[in-house]
């Protein structure tokens, strides 16, 4: 009897526990369900206002920026209209300038957006050039777009000054000292060879006088840092060719190449437009002075040089669409001769082949293998910035003071336009495709690991 009672009590306790555990589980599951509801409901309640904000008024995001910028531009246009009057209306110089600027800006952005997966990036300046060409030759746009020669000349001279200052500030004295002879050979030899070959070919093929042939040679003889430098920096970041310093060599030599081309053009320009060809005019010496002064100032600024380069870079971002848009707008299809395009392409192509071959020969004794020499020679062909600046200068001078020389200056302008159109995209594609295939890749992480291991020991 005494033994049965504890057993019964124990059984009752187990029944009570068994009956209460489902209720506890239900209660806990109910509490968890309520907690999940509480956690879900605030999220849904928070997302509803966000969904409502997207379609709310006032608009937000990209639409808001577009409307705001459009309103600001419209107000600026109204203010300018109040001061200048008909200049901001169709057929006015300011109106034409705005049309070319925005068309060139849109053309450059389109080339940045439209990219093929296996094709390297095409320089935006090509889109700017084609946009200016379209403005000049599309019937409706050409009827309402007019820019005075004085305004166009001022803008091109300003762009030339910015280019010269950037070239002077971009020269690295230490890199030039380290590269020494190779850099000098690469910067001077191909430019001089192409200038001389262009003078000879244009004299016999295009019936150019010798002084005009050398002027044309220095116009097309300059390589474009706007194409070469970004492409080399892209390869340098990935480690291609850095063991032998190929990207650094091409970046440093491109600035010196432009300096030589601008200096030679200034000398030929003074000879062509001098009175009687018995004296050298000094009106083009300002460009060389700007280059030398910027280089001298950059060597003394040290750390502050970077801040100045950023300011000059911002100014170039504004003047670049204007420059290439104005260059494209100078070329008219109606004014071109029937055989001008063929002769221009033939002259430029033959001189370019001589330049590439001579560059390969100059790099033969510089410690590069066969593939690297081929890459350097082909990378030294893109043309853009200097041609856009120097090409219209002769045409502008001829219109102002020597109308009888306008036909030669138009041919110079045509060759410069075709040189940019053909060599800039092809040069960028060759550098982007050929570089990873022929250059040796140097892994920077291995160097860091080796250095860290040496430090530990």
Q: Per-residue pLDDT for 390 more than 90? A: no
Q: What pLDDT, on the 0 to 100 scale, is given for residue 355?
A: 94
Alpha-carbon gap, residue 219 to 21, rounded angstroms = 93
Alpha-carbon gap, residue 228 to 431, rounded angstroms = 8
Domains of the chain: 160-302+328-443 (1.20.1530.20)
Confidence category of residue 56, pLDDT binned at 50, 70, 90? low
pLDDT above 70 as % of the chain: 78
Residue identified by tokens 């409307």 is 67
Q: How far is CA 225 from CA 187, 228, 415, in A?
A: 12, 5, 19
Cβ proximity of 245 and 186 under 8 Å? no
Instruction: Tell me the pLDDT tens digit for each residue of 200-259.
Output: 999 999 999 999 999 999 999 999 887 887 788 788 878 888 888 888 888 878 877 888
Q: What pLDDT, on the 0 to 100 scale, is given for residue 331?
A: 79
Q: What pLDDT, on the 0 to 100 scale, is given for residue 319?
A: 87
Burial 76-113 (b: 16+ CB within 10 A, else e): eeeeebeeeeebbeeebbbbbbbbbbebbbebbeebee
Tell me the mean pLDDT in the region 9-21: 47
H or E segment at 317? Answer: helix 304-329
Alpha-carbon gap, residue 119 to 138, rounded angstroms = 30
pLDDT above 90 as % of the chain: 14
Q: What share of the chain is helix, strand, coil (3-state, %, to 5)?
A: 80, 0, 20
Instruction: Tell me the pLDDT tens digit for each residue of 346-371.
Output: 999 999 999 999 999 998 877 888 99
Confidence category of residue 305, pLDDT binned at 50, 70, 90? confident
pTM for the predicted model, two decimal places: 0.70
Cβ proximity of 227 and 123 under 8 Å? yes
Q: Per-residue pLDDT for 423 more than 60? A: yes
How confident is the prediction for the chain on average, in pLDDT? 77
Q: Residue 302 — φ and ψ, nearest 5°?
A: 55, -110
- Tally: H helices and E strands in the chain: 18, 0
Q: What pLDDT, on the 0 to 100 scale, is given for residue 88?
A: 76
Q: What is the largest CA-CA distance in the chain?
A: 144
Cβ proximity of 375 and 452 under 8 Å? no
Which range has the top average pLDDT, 53-62, 78-87, 98-107, 242-251? Answer: 98-107
Q: Per-residue pLDDT for 19 more than 70? A: no
β-bridge mates for residue 240, sequence order: 441
Q: What pLDDT, on the 0 to 100 scale, is given for residue 176?
A: 66
Q: Residue 415 — φ and ψ, nearest 5°?
A: -65, -40
Dihedral sign, CA of 353, 181, 264, 290? positive
Confidence category of residue 457, pLDDT binned at 50, 70, 90? very low
- Specify the higher pLDDT residue, 43 or 310: 310
Cβ proximity of 225 and 385 under 8 Å? yes
Kindly state the tokens that stand for 109: 């952005």
Cβ proximity of 54 and 62 under 8 Å? no
Q: Please give the radius of gyration of the chain, using alpha carbons only, rounded to the nearest integer.
A: 33
Alpha-carbon gap, residue 129 to 132, rounded angstroms = 5
Helix (H, G, I), strand (E, B) or coil at 441: strand
Which range has the top average pLDDT, 105-109, 244-248, 346-350, 399-403? Answer: 346-350
CA 188 vs. chain centroid, Å, equals: 24
CA 79 vs. chain centroid, Å, equals: 32
Cβ proximity of 195 and 221 under 8 Å? yes
Kindly state the tokens that stand for 18: 């068994």
Helix (H, G, I), strand (E, B) or coil at 28: helix
Alpha-carbon gap, residue 187 to 201, rounded angstroms = 22
Cβ proximity of 261 and 226 under 8 Å? no
- Specify the higher pLDDT residue, 134 or 450: 134
Q: What pLDDT, on the 0 to 100 scale, is given for residue 175?
A: 62
Angle at 253 between CA 249 and CA 256, to 5 degrees: 160
């Amino acid at each position: 009897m005494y033994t049965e009672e504890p057993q019964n009590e124990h059984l009752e306790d187990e029944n009570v526990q068994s009956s209460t555990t489902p209720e506890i589980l239900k209660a806990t599951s109910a509490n968890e369900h309520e907690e999940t509801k509480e956690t879900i409901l605030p999220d849904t309640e928070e997302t509803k206002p966000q969904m409502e904000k997207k379609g709310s008024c006032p608009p937000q995001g990209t639409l808001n920026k577009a409307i705001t910028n459009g309103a600001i531009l419209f107000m600026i246009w109204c203010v300018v209209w109040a001061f200048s009057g008909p200049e901001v209306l169709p057929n006015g110089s300011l109106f034409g300038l705005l049309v070319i600027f925005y068309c060139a800006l849109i053309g450059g952005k389109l080339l940045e957006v439209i990219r093929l997966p296996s094709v390297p990036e095409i320089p935006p300046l090509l889109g700017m050039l084609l946009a200016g060409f379209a403005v000049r030759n599309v019937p409706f746009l050409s009827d309402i777009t007019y820019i005075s020669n004085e305004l166009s000349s001022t803008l091109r001279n300003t762009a030339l000054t910015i280019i010269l200052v950037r070239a002077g500030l971009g020269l690295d004295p230490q890199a030039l000292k380290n590269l020494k002879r190779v850099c000098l050979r690469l910067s001077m030899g191909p430019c001089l060879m192409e200038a001389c070959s262009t003078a000879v070919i244009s004299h016999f093929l295009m019936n150019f006088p010798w002084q005009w042939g050398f002027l044309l040679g220095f116009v097309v003889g300059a390589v474009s840092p706007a194409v070469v430098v970004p492409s080399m920096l892209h390869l340098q970041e990935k480690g291609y060719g850095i063991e032998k310093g190929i990207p650094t060599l091409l970046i440093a030599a491109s600035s010196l190449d432009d300096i030589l081309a601008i200096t030679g053009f200034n000398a030929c320009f003074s000879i062509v437009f001098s009175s009687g060809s018995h004296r050298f005019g000094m009106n083009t010496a300002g460009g060389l002075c700007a280059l030398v002064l910027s280089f001298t100032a950059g060597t003394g600024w040290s750390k502050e040089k970077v801040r100045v380069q950023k300011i000059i870079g911002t100014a170039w971002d504004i003047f670049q669409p204007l420059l290439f848009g104005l260059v494209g707008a100078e070329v008219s299809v109606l004014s071109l001769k029937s055989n001008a395009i063929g002769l221009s392409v033939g002259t430029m192509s033959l001189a370019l082949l001589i330049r590439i071959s001579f560059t390969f020969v100059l790099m033969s004794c510089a410690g590069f293998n066969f593939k690297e020499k081929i890459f350097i020679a082909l990378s030294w062909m893109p043309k853009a910035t200097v041609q856009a600046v120097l090409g219209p200068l002769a045409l502008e001078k001829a219109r102002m003071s020597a109308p009888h020389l306008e036909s030669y200056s138009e041919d110079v302008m045509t060759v410069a336009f075709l040189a940019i159109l053909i060599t800039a995209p092809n040069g960028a594609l060759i550098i982007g495709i050929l570089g990873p295939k022929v250059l040796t890749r140097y892994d920077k992480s291995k160097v860091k690991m080796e250095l860290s291991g040496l430090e530990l020991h």
